[in-house]
Structure 1
């Protein structure tokens, strides 16, 4: 499958360019004026637990470091609205433009107090025939529905529990190649495949862990994560429907060697997804939107337990079969106001070590409500309340966490339209 994806993409690119008439290849340099926008996201947070306590909470057998700052190997991560009090989440700089009749280019750069990150930087074909589109660079995968969207487009301040716990705050955001085909039919139907490097912080990974000469876990070069999906959409009156199935498969090198109880996971992982969205428009600005996704993951490999000197003390076989979902509803009575509710759950949590079920907690739930006001399409203010009873402390006891988040998201400049 790996060689097929790469060779097919190269062949399609070459064939598509050869079929473009010479008169359409003219390009005016005077039209090369990129769209530039800057988005600032900030918030004020009040939680029922102190920051030091929140940072040690985790989803039993699923993930930890979902709130506050945490490390993965040599990398330090902070979630959005990480601390009680004021938070400057990011300043996002976006540049996009046509390159010539063949390509468009986009760059998304995240500036934070911790540094600068290339969120996305990719080139997209614009001249391929037969409904084919190619993309190369670093980009958000089209896996599922929410994964492709940037934070400022989310309907809530935080990512759904199942997404963040399975894939991390950035989801599947990778370097690689994407190839999509849209069928020439009245009913929208699109299929896509992606060959990605595979560097996800929570589920996938291909880097060597430890000393290169005598590693804890040996990595693998090249693309190690492969994604495929099929999506369809249709309208019934003023209601639009979008649904899809997604699949991701790759190797896992998950580095928790810097934790208080250092460990590393080495194995293979598969993620399955189903998404469904329905949006009914009452008029140009008033709408009701229902959105849900279900994710199921299967991880199979070795859990390498380490001592404080990073020496291997045990290597039990480990499998994880876990599933979760979210469902949310948004109502906007006009162009200025909107309100929504969301329910998150991890409903399957089977963790088996050396053939013995660890009996991890299930029914991990979170409830959220939000209200937002927009002064224009460039300025949004949102108040959100979360009640989270999915987390456990270091003693394995369930902890209820209540959070109140007030956020401001302000944009200037020209920004491309978002997909439905």
Structure 2
């Protein structure tokens, strides 16, 4: 009986081999299309009308906190610009997104930002899919899960610009770093997640580890060894009736070496920074398409170190610096139906305590910004937003407060297969 079964198997093997040889070539070719990743592209285009012209707006800032928040700026041969940077028309970016499972154990995602000035890798990371026990690991270049909005891409924001406190403390792109992330979701009846991230530490506004060098490439001020930024957070969410509550607390700590050698008063800050955050989001659904969402985040930072006054070859003076700065934003967005959405936002930085060599310098701290928007969605792939900003946070180089009124019309169009965004 065994011989008969073996002979039958051999005959079947040769028979199917002959059939395969006789199949047309296109039937025998490996089907690559089954392994092509999901591909999508997002185009973001805007028209901006400011009450302050392009030449002046780039010189405005928040004393003791940040400068260069608006407009375009030159960094050597590279042009750096915020979203909606210029009066008139702006092609903010073309975002190309690739995502796919690599095997049963990992998925891969990449987000590339194309602009008139080049291409940047916004994110490129792998994610574990089979660790089990509520664990998930991620590695590569990624948006940190610090707070609520930091992990969201620009095209998902409810407003066309980043909240004032985030942009002032962390820059336009937030905490967007090379590094590793580990998250654990607890086996509880409600959502509870804890996360830890070890990141390179190259944030443009608050963290940094690159040594300051003279014209010959010799280090004048030594930077820290990377990785030098550590982030932790705890997040929870629960539902009652038609309302979802999402809340979290976050903490980041790292070394800071911030190069301001191109400022009017050239200096370099070297020290340690700590950032505390708390966020609360409440979403109430009236029906399948209508809802109201309240979103708020609070940030507070501590920066302690030495400010070096520098020239191209040496250190000309030092100051011991202590900064305690805090702010928040709060926004309310009403979704009327599939097509229409309305929102308002309030931004403030209410604390700006700075000490130089132990003496309080009594820096200004009345930074406020007000925004309102109306948004129309012809479909889930396109949206048009009209936004008005009244920015009372900026000061010029003479220390005079400037009020900026901005009207912005933004178009955001997407094509291709794009995965759903998290809540």
| TM beyond 0.5 | yes
- Measured at CA, do residues 102 and 29 of structure 1 come closer, stay the same or move farther in structure 2, by a change above 3 Å? farther
Partner in structure 2 of residue 196 of structure 1: 199
* Count of aligned residue pairs for this structure pair: 392
The aligned counterpart of 1:82 is 85
Shift of 1:363: 2.2
Asked if residue 336 in structure 1 is aligned to residue 339 in structure 2, the reply is: yes
Taking only aligned residues, the RMSD between alpha carbons, in angstroms, comes to: 1.4
Aligned-pair distance for 1:32? 2.1
Matches within 5 A, 1:19-418: 31-71=34-74, 76-211=79-214, 214-307=218-311, 309=312, 311-418=314-421
Considering only CA atoms, is the larger Rg found in Structure 1 or Structure 2? 2
1:170 shift after superposition:
0.4
Structure 2 Cα separation of the partners of residues 56 and 385 of structure 1? 21
Query: Which stretch has the larger CA shift, 80-89 or 207-216?
Result: 207-216
**In the superposition, relative to structure 1, how do residues 208 and 71 fare at CA in structure 2: closer, same or farther (>3 Å)?**
farther
Deviation per residue, 1:285-337 (Å, 9 max, x gap): 11100000000000001111124x45322110111100000000000110100
Distance 2:178 2:308 in 1: 28
Alpha-carbon distance between aligned partners in 2 of 1:413 and 1:334, rounded to the nearest angstrom: 24
Gap change, CA 1:407 and 1:213, over 3 Å in 2: closer
- Alpha-carbon distance in structure 1 between the residues aligned to 2:404 and 2:318: 34
Measured in 2, the distance between the counterparts of 1:255 and 1:148 equals: 26
Runs ≥4 in structure 1, deviation > 6 angstroms?
A: none
Q: Point out where structure 1 has 5 or more consecutive residues left out of the alignment.
A: 1-27
Q: Are the aligned partners of 1:35 and 1:96 in contact in 2 as well (CA < 8 Å)?
A: yes
* Alpha-carbon distance between aligned partners in 1 of 2:314 and 2:77, rounded to the nearest angstrom: 18
User: Aligned equivalents of 1:362 and 1:71: distance in 2?
Assistant: 28
1:72–1:255 contact (8 Å) kept in structure 2: no
1-structure distance, mates of 2:267, 2:37? 46
Distance, in Å, in 1 between the alignment partners of 2:310 and 2:333 is 46
Aligned counterparts of 2:168 and 2:123: Cα–Cα separation in 1: 22
Shift of 1:30: 6.6
Q: Which runs of 5+ in 2 are unaligned?
A: 1-30
* CA deviation string 1:110-168 (max 9, x = no partner): 00011000000000000011000000000000000000000000000000000000000
